[in-house]
Amino acid sequence: MVVIEAQWVLPEAQNAIEAIRASTDSPLAAIFITHPHSDHFGGINAFVETAENNLPIYACYLTLTSIRNDSEGFISQRQEAFGDDFSNPVTLPNQIVEYGDEIEFGEVNFRILEFPHNESLTMTMPYLPEQGVLFSGDLVGNQRTPVLREGLTAL
């Protein structure tokens, strides 16, 4: 079981974990974080606590440093707004990926695509070439507006 994104808040993460457990006995093998917007990792500590071993958390270097430095203040804002429902401290990614990396989980082979300066500072997208599946993060949305406050979409 590989989870793409770790939910916005801890109660959502707990709901996701329960739904996963209801559908499979497969252990959680890893998490991918596509970009440093807090709605993609605020529930991460719930996943880490349920993992049997040291959970690999994949992200690109820009995502890691953005979360670690909280340079935009997004994380502290969310921790203040959500209190105990937001991971604090946020468990950081511990596996750095970059464009072109390939990661195997059993018979599933992820290829890493990464595009800077879009809806976020960067977007790391796990791709399953054999299945033709792309996890696009917030690069593609359905009937919603992407986050524009960073001003990167005009670049």
Which one of 6-14, 36-44, 61-69, 84-92 is the stretch in contact with Zn ion (CB under 5 A)? 36-44
Q: Are strands 30-32 and 2-4 parallel, antiparallel or unpaired?
A: parallel
Alpha helices in 7-52 (DSSP H): 10-23, 44-50
Q: How far is the CB of 59 from Zn ion (least distance, A)?
A: 13
Nearer to Zn ion, 28 or 97 (CB): 97
Amino acid at the residue 6? A
Which one of 30-38, 62-70, 76-84, 127-135 is the stretch in contact with Zn ion (CB under 5 A)? 30-38
- Provide the token pair at 145: 């507006």
Task: Identify the three-state secondary structure at position 38.
Answer: helix
Q: How far is the CB of 145 from Zn ion (least distance, A)?
A: 11
Q: Which position among 31, 37, 60, 112 is part of the footprint of Zn ion (CB under 5 A)?
A: 37
Q: Which position among 5, 85, 114, 138 is part of the footprint of Zn ion (CB under 5 A)?
A: 138
Hey, which residues between 51 and 110 contact Zn ion (CB under 5 A)?
A: none
Residue of 61, 77, 86 whose CA lies nearest to 6: 86
Task: Identify the three-state secondary structure at position 83.
Answer: helix
- Judged by the rule CB under 5 A, the positions of this chain that interact with Zn ion are 37, 120, 138, 147
